[in-house]
Amino acid sequence: MDSFHYISSETLSIEKISDIISEDKKLALSEEVIQKINTCREYLNEKLRGQDKPIYGINTGFGSLYNIKITKENLTKLQENLVMSHACGMGEHVTSDIVKVMLLLKIQSLSYGHSGVQLETVERLIAFYNNNILPVVYTQGSLGASGDLAPLAHLALPLLGKGTVLYHDEFCESKDILKLFNWSPIKLQSKEGLALLNGTQFMSAYGTCLLIKSYKLSYLADLIGSISLDAFDGRIEPFNELVHLVRPHSGQLKTAERVREFLDGSELIKQEKEHVQDPYSFRCMPQVHGATKDTLEFVNKTITTEINSVTDNPNIFSQDDEIISGGNFHGQPLALALDYLKIAMAELGNISERRIFQLVSGLRKLPTFLVDNPGLNSGFMIPQYTAASIVSANKQLASPASVDSIVSSNGQEDHVSMGANAATQAYDLINNIERILSIELFNAAQAIAFRSPIKSSDFIESFLAVYRNEVAFVSNDRELYIDLENSLNFLQNLTIDNTELY
């Protein structure tokens, strides 16, 4: 029996979305939401019947064409033209998981009863979601200001029987899918096109999916860093809680606690050391990894607020008899948060690469480049090059998109957030972090094998035993790209309980 998530006034959290996705829940509208949607639509219909006053986007043109009045008989055509004309995306296809979250967040935003949409329109979006009918959306085209106009236009096109969708891993014409399900195209009423296109669901969906992944990578950075620390014959003293209680940043305390837990019972960490201190990339993991954790909490707060908001325009307040044209579609809060996320996650890659470098440097009685017969074997020399190249690319991706603005719509939209660019940059950057950590794990697993028969903790030993089923110890040079791909796949397929992540 399918499990359902009911769209309601309950706050939608990042953890909740993670559960909805992982458990593949279907969506349904609560009775409360159905009433809100219907009440708002009925109010708007009555408002348009009773007066001819121009209301932006409802019976006027859009953007710099806001002064052009549209006759009542053309209101449906106005909304359909809006969707078709704004579907101007280019670039790569947005991944299916992000498109599905875009649908979820658009449904959520329309559910508050301030957008003026028909119930039928929202129910069709839910039908797309529940049947995995995913509109083809493109990565390029949004300025992140009047909402994510181009991406959301592509998200809305299939409602009209236009555009392309992905269904059962095949690209299909939307009109053919409507026929398959015996659905008629939605006839958009006044305001509906604008409600569908104005909004921040492209940026928000990217932010939501990337935040879920970032929490996992933050956990893995702590775990893999702990393996590297043990393999490097590092010291545990810098992780003593007393050190962090006198500088009690939340993320710093959490990182130190995790490292202590991961290394609890390790013979390696307990053995007498010949050195007094470790390099910063090991010793300062709580301070560096912890600062990233604190950033994730800030980004979480921003995105959680956004996904529980109404971000189209104008906003309809039926109880107050007000229709107000504002600017909730402007993506500046998300643009800044996504740029901050990029910087914070890039640092996990920076410090990881430094640990990789230390492990291959022939220090602490580890063989140079972590292989027997160095010289004849190059061993792990070049994976560090690969990590360094990815880190450098991330430094470019981490440059903030939100500091830029280009005037559009003939000067009416004279400041834009560029948050959509921040989102797609964050996507590339965070996938790069996963690659860097997979290289560090490859190195750390190899290094710790040279410490045998002295053992790490039971937790780490069991984790590495599972890893060794996918990536074998390197005795002599071989095609390492295969090992790197297997190491990456191992991390991607690793499931971690949400209680460990948040």
Q: How far is CA 73 from CA 41, 79, 161, 218, 231, in A?
A: 18, 12, 22, 55, 74
Peptide bond into 453 cis (omega under 30): yes
Q: Tell me how far apart the alpha carbons of residues 354 and 347 are, in angstroms, rounded to a whole number.
A: 11
Which residues lie below 8 Å from residue 145, measured CB to CB, with a gap of 6+? 329, 330, 331, 408, 413, 415, 416, 417
Residue 212 tokens, joined: 């879920």
Residues designated catalytic = 56
Q: Rounded CA gap, 191 and 157, in Å?
A: 15
CA distance 355 to 461: 20
Q: Which residues does residue 6 pair with via DSSP β-bridges, in sequence order?
A: 28
Q: Which two tokens stand for residue 68?
A: 């052009």
What is the spatial distance between Cα 309 and Cα 177, in angstroms, rounded to a whole number? 31
Cβ(354)–Cβ(437) below 8 Å: no
| Separation of alpha carbons 320 and 70, rounded Å | 25
Nearest to 186 by CA among 258, 288, 110: 110
Greatest pairwise CA separation for the chain in angstroms: 88
456/241 Cα distance (integer angstroms): 21
Q: How far apart are CA 343 and CA 334, in angstroms?
A: 14
Tokens of residue 82, six digits: 């809006």
Peptide bond into 383 cis (omega under 30): no
Give, as one character, the DSSP assignment of residue 217: H
Query: Is beta strand 4-7 parallel, antiparallel or unpaired with respect to 26-29?
Result: parallel
One-letter amino acid at 56 equals Y
Give the tokens for residue 488.
């990456």
Tokens representing residue 348 in the block: 């996990």
263 close to 456: Cβ distance less than 8 angstroms = yes
Which stretches does DSSP call E strand in 78-199? Answer: 90-93, 134-135, 138-140, 164-167, 170-173
The tokens for 311 are 């971000």
* CA within 13 Å, CB half, 138: 17
* DSSP sequence for 43-84: HHHHHHHH-----TTTSB-SGGGTT-B--GGGHHHHHHHHHH
Nearest residue to 239 via CA among 223, 222, 253: 253
